[in-house]
Amino acid sequence: MKPNLSQYSILNTHYSLLINNSYFCFMLRYLSADYIFPVSSEPVKDGVVVLNESGEIMDVLNPTQSSTIPGTIEHFQGIITPGFVNSHCHLELSHLHGKIPEGTGLVSFVKNVISQRTAGEEQVLSAMKTNDRLMFENGIVAVGDISNNHLSKSIKQNSSIYYHTFIELLGFDPEKAEAVFNRALELKSEFAPFPASVVPHAPYSVSEKLFGLLREYSERHENLCSMHNQESRAENDLFISKSGEFPDFYKWMKQDLNFFNARYQSSIQCILPLLSAKQKTLLVHNTFTKPEDIAAMVASGKEINWCFCPNANLYIEGKLPEINKFLDHSHKITVGTDSLASNDKLCILSELKVLKEHFPELPFSQTIRWATLNGAAFLGIDNRYGSIEKGKTPGLNLVKNVNGSELAPYSTIKKLI
């Protein structure tokens, strides 16, 4: 039965719900800060968020509306935001924290991850458990998480964070496409009943045949797509002229590349026709994405979202995407942390601070949307998360030590709800 909310009034410290013909009385909380950023609407200076005991948003009030509140208002210095959505993470690589050298470029980074990712199950689980908790404390309420095995399931099912698991396809050898795809489907079923999709790792690591199997599957099933894109110059070199570092990498992997010919186009422009038009697609990193690639994505009419993980880009390639080039079109932008193999912490505020440092013209009122509502919309959970709106339970963060309504290098995060 849908609760009857007609008895609710913001001017009471309690509200009642009619549930199964009985009235239940609940306490309200009033949280105020220098700014409330609801995200779905304009920031409210000295606003008040009204919420019930289960963290459900009952209202957002401006100072005039809140002047007659009879209850106690808890006031904080800083900005109240919705909980963060980390749209790209690899929780299962948490045990690699501090193990992979910085600034080596993507190809060496991938070689290092392949060589070092094997570890005892206990060590892997313990690192995941710790970092799931740290993400929660860092104000993250939902995560799009890449997985290559089932180990993270036990952490996810006991977590307070919402996870959507992206089961990653890795296989450039066309002869192995069916086996790789069937194993991914098995893994997806192992994650049931939790939300999961089968996704390609990257253009340089998934054969056309494997992309074809995924496309067929995605035409018939609801299946979000999340793919690493143009994280290195080498990826474009491979597709444009079969040159650069990847031919040597595949030699190191003992993978014959005779089946692959230069395509004279950037990687993403080659792969674009292989993605199902029915899928929402998140392209992650985009460090070497050019305006003509963005134009091709727009022209395709496909539902493309761009995810930026700036700390990981600086860690691996020492370079950031040209973010300003992504702003003048209708595609949504999200933010991710990537893994602890290429980051010091899984903290969205830290990613937003790097964006502010390198793109000072981007207001926090814009980047906060990338880190909350856009990620929630991509994951299909914006009915609950992503903005401070009536009826949602988005979690609330306090961003402290700000500069008015802007982030500062010394800004910190405190999870309120």
Is residue 312 within 8 Å of residue 337, measured between CB atoms?
yes
Q: Closest Cα to residue 227, out of 300, 171, 282?
A: 282
Least distance between Zn ion and beta carbon 88 (Å)? 6
CA distance linking residue 265 with residue 96, whole number of Å:
34
CA distance linking residue 75 with residue 61, whole number of Å:
14
Cβ proximity to Zn ion: between 132 and 338 the closer is 338
Least distance between Zn ion and beta carbon 343 (Å)? 10
For Zn ion, how many residues bind (rule: CB under 5 A)?
1
- Candidate segments 233-241, 249-257, 338-346, 390-398, binder of Zn ion by CB under 5 A: 338-346
Angle at 53 between CA 50 and CA 55, to 5 degrees: 65
Is residue 327 within 8 Å of residue 367, measured between CB atoms?
no
Backbone φ and ψ of 26, nearest 5°? -125, 150
Cα torsion angle, 404, 405, 407, 411, sign: positive
CA distance linking residue 298 with residue 332, whole number of Å:
11
Cβ proximity to Zn ion: between 81 and 205 the closer is 205
Least distance between Zn ion and beta carbon 231 (Å)? 8
- Candidate segments 200-208, 336-344, 370-378, 409-417, binder of Zn ion by CB under 5 A: 336-344
- Candidate segments 131-139, 203-211, 330-338, 382-390, binder of Zn ion by CB under 5 A: 330-338
Tell me the two tokens of residue 19: 């549930």
Least distance between Zn ion and beta carbon 202 (Å)? 9
- Show the site string, 287-326: x = touches Zn ion by CB under 5 A, - = not: ----------------------------------------
Least distance between Zn ion and beta carbon 243 (Å)? 24
Closest CB to Zn ion: residue number: 338
- Candidate segments 120-128, 176-184, 250-258, 332-340, binder of Zn ion by CB under 5 A: 332-340
Cβ proximity to Zn ion: between 98 and 301 the closer is 98
Least distance between Zn ion and beta carbon 201 (Å)? 9
Is residue 116 within 8 Å of residue 129, measured between CB atoms?
no
- Candidate segments 45-53, 158-166, 333-341, 383-391, binder of Zn ion by CB under 5 A: 333-341
Helices (H) and strands (E) in the chain, counts: 14, 16
Least distance between Zn ion and beta carbon 189 (Å)? 23
Cβ proximity to Zn ion: between 47 and 144 the closer is 144
Look up tokens 């094997």; give the residue. Answer: 118
208-220 vs 177-191: helix axis angle to the nearest 10? Answer: 40
Is residue 242 within 8 Å of residue 261, measured between CB atoms?
yes
Which of 245, 293, 338, 382 is close enough to bind Zn ion by CB under 5 A? Answer: 338
Contact residues toward Zn ion (CB under 5 A) are 338
